[in-house]
Structure 1
Amino acid sequence: MKWLSGMMGCIVIGIIGFDVEAATESMTDCIACHRERNPILIAEWEQSGHHRPALDCQTCHGTRHDGTMAAHSRRNEVCMACHARERQSYTLSKHGVIALMEGERMAYPPPSGNGEARAPTCAYCHMHRNTHRMTSTATPCQDCHSPRFVDTWFTSGRKMIAIGAMKVREAEAVVHRLVRERMEGAFKARRIHEIMTRDHLGRVRLGVGHQSPDDQWWHGQPALDGDLLRIKSILHDALVKR
């Protein structure tokens, strides 16, 4: 029994050692092989936002070199592991809800860009036509929607973002006056304006891009309205105390 236990232990150690070796395969090996097979794809990756020290090929493609690595990288959960802010916006959109409900039945193996799913994944829109270039254009939308619908959607979205930016500029003018005239509450107003610009206007942009009602009409425009009113009330209180 001892020799059997020892042999089984060697087998287990051998298996574990093999898996670890496969999982820690150098990214240099991936690049060397794929640069020869598809130099354009590698060049696109090197020029993309994903070409950074913290990421390697296995971060997105996984470690199973069995023909499923391309399909693995198209799964939403791979992108959402890093893009938390975008994840919330997308999952609350119509596309995100459908993708979540039908995720296991969606056709991940085909190249992204053939209109093969009822709802687009992250990679379908932002890495359209099986490329490493990050895009945010109308081209993927036209795989499923009519040109007129897409044009109307983008025109409406640009107007919504412009309205949000107008609120930010109005608040900025008030903050400048508070700072310039050394009024009480200037620091607080500046902090609100920073959140307004960084977070709430950003939510409007994400809501427009993903068609997420929650980001557009709760975390976006109404939040901007609240920020603007709070900043104006700081100015009002400062003027009253003069």
Structure 2
Amino acid sequence: MPSITRRMIAILAIGTIFVAGLLFLTYHFLIGPTGLQTSMPTLSVATLGENKACVECHQKENPGIIQQYHDSKHSGHGVQCLDCHKPVKGQETLTKDHYNVALIAKPTPNNCAQCHATEVQQFTDSNHAAKSWYAVQGAKNFTPAELAKYHLLDANGKPLNGGNANPVFNLIGQDASAQSCEVCHAIGQKNSDGSFGDCTKCHLRHTFEVAQARKPATCAQCHLGPDHPQAEIYDESAHGAYYQANESKFNMDAPTGTLTVKDFPAPTCATCHMSAFGSVQGTHDVGQRLKWTLAPEIASVRKNGDVHQQTMNAVCLNCHAQPFIDDVMSKAEKNIALTNQNIAKGKSIIQDLRATGLLGTKPFGTPIDFLYFELWHHEGRRARFGAVMGGADYVNWNGIYEQEKALVELQSQAEALKVKH
């Protein structure tokens, strides 16, 4: 074989191997089995100075952090470690010296606001922020200015509920609360830089994915259980059933502000409560589309509730006709009214016992206290949430039925107390 031919074959073979290798690396690092990725494998090469040192050290010590960040859109857009962990104004008490680098270990909404100012402001105005933390801690650690700013004062200008910590917080104690109530309500925790909240409750570090926040499982970290079972109700509803059967059809990675029924053929939690969808603008204020406040003892219409309802209505119209929406909401509001009536009956029994001195003032001091608390905090809420979210079982067997049963028990125990005394 002529030498020139051998050289050509050798060059062709080497070229083939090179192209094959390049294709393999492209698939492995950029495309992969789950589709096109946005970040590059050589993260440490893309970082500079102190940021490079962060990556190289944590790659050895905490590789999971680096892998998460490597897979994130933050990485793909060139956001580096200290863009989030560098202190901003007011974070002096949070700042630590870490290998001669001034940083904060846990960024707050004030750090996120450097790029996401609108979203942070919307979140700050929502019940996920200061109001969520107050619901557990009460007025402790809130300044008078903060109480006023976040609408935590009653009509007389006094802190709501007397400023006291939630009675369940006192019942179970600090240790239990730290791993239960406070885990979820820390979405609105007070930070020492004056901000309230923790964005990573929904956008889990270090990927901070929009896709993750759009999935029901993210909301279900907290919105579940006997007193606010939105996750279970969603799973039971037609919306949840469709999602579970057709999850692969949902485009969770669709760019923000572009979602349509092509991306989300049925709603997840975020679709209804937060996402920009169709003609509706997105928001991080989870109350902007809600007519009712359903969590208190007595449910009531929110300020501007009818306007909020029209916004939610515009979301629903992407999939439902107006007569259907009107029918569902009309039925739901009748059941909300029924829960209020049942709770009013129960409260009347309790007030009568207290007025006659047959019931002490200590929270959860008697079995009757538990009966009444669950009448509104568990059963009333469940029926209301079930009514507006399409959870039939929660309207009846976990809701109204349980209320009716509790009222009979309350009346029976009240009469027994009167006879005894």
| TM-score interval (norm. to shorter) | 0.7 to 0.9
Contact 2:339 2:384 in 1 (8 A): no
- CA separation of 1:109/1:194 partners in 2, compared to 1, >3 Å: closer, same or farther? same
Q: Which amino acid aligns with 2:123?
A: W
Corresponding residue for residue 168 of structure 1: 343
CA apart distance, 1:175: 2.2
CA apart distance, 1:112: 7.3
Corresponding residue for residue 246 of structure 2: 102
Corresponding residue for residue 91 of structure 1: 235
1:216-231 alignment, distance < 5 Å: 216-231=395-410
CA apart distance, 1:87: 1.4
Corresponding residue for residue 215 of structure 2: 75
Corresponding residue for residue 116 of structure 2: 34
Structure 1 gaps, min length 5: 1-11
* Structure ranking higher in helix proportion: 1
CA apart distance, 1:107: 1.9
Contact 2:346 2:372 in 1 (8 A): yes
Q: Hey, what's the Cα distance between the residues in 1 that align with 2:198 and 2:355?
A: 48
Structure 2 gaps, min length 5: 1-55, 70-80, 86-106, 130-187, 191-196, 277-281, 291-308
Structure 2 length as normaliser, TM-score? 0.47
Q: Which amino acid aligns with 2:59?
A: I
Q: Hey, what's the Cα distance between the residues in 2 that align with 1:113 and 1:151?
A: 24
Corresponding residue for residue 126 of structure 1: 273
Q: Which amino acid aligns with 1:119?
A: A
Q: Hey, what's the Cα distance between the residues in 2 that align with 1:240 and 1:45?
A: 53
| Cα deviation 1:58-104 (Å, max 9, x = unaligned) | 43234237xxx222221111111222232122222221222222223
- CA separation of 1:60/1:176 partners in 2, compared to 1, >3 Å: closer, same or farther? closer
CA apart distance, 1:19: 5.5
1:141 is aligned, of 313, 316, 320, to 316
Q: Which amino acid aligns with 1:215?
A: Y
Q: Hey, what's the Cα distance between the residues in 2 that align with 1:220 and 1:201?
A: 6
Q: Hey, what's the Cα distance between the residues in 2 that align with 1:194 and 1:42?
A: 34
Q: Which amino acid aligns with 1:120?
A: P
Q: Which amino acid aligns with 2:221?
A: A
Corresponding residue for residue 208 of structure 1: 387
1:177 is aligned, of 320, 332, 352, to 352
SS at match of 1:218: helix
| Cα deviation 1:27-77 (Å, max 9, x = unaligned) | 455431334xxxx33322332344434854443234237xxx222221111
Q: Hey, what's the Cα distance between the residues in 1 that align with 2:58 and 2:345?
A: 66
| Cα deviation 1:188-211 (Å, max 9, x = unaligned) | 333311110111101011101211
Q: Hey, what's the Cα distance between the residues in 2 that align with 1:146 and 1:163?
A: 27
Q: Hey, what's the Cα distance between the residues in 2 that align with 1:123 and 1:133?
A: 11
Corresponding residue for residue 261 of structure 2: 115
SS at match of 1:81: coil
Corresponding residue for residue 232 of structure 1: 411
- CA separation of 1:238/1:150 partners in 2, compared to 1, >3 Å: closer, same or farther? same
* Structure with the greater alpha carbon radius of gyration: 2
Moved more, 52-61 or 71-80: 52-61
Contact 2:112 2:120 in 1 (8 A): no
Corresponding residue for residue 6 of structure 1: none
Q: Hey, what's the Cα distance between the residues in 1 that align with 2:355 and 2:111?
A: 58
CA apart distance, 1:237: 3.3
Query: May I ask how many residue pairs the two structures share in their alignment?
Result: 225
Q: Hey, what's the Cα distance between the residues in 1 that align with 2:400 and 2:216?
A: 27
Contact 2:123 2:284 in 1 (8 A): yes
Q: Hey, what's the Cα distance between the residues in 2 that align with 1:158 and 1:99?
A: 26
Q: Hey, what's the Cα distance between the residues in 1 that align with 2:251 and 2:65?
A: 30
- CA separation of 1:128/1:147 partners in 2, compared to 1, >3 Å: closer, same or farther? farther
Q: Hey, what's the Cα distance between the residues in 2 that align with 1:50 and 1:166?
A: 28
CA apart distance, 1:217: 1.2
SS at match of 1:61: coil
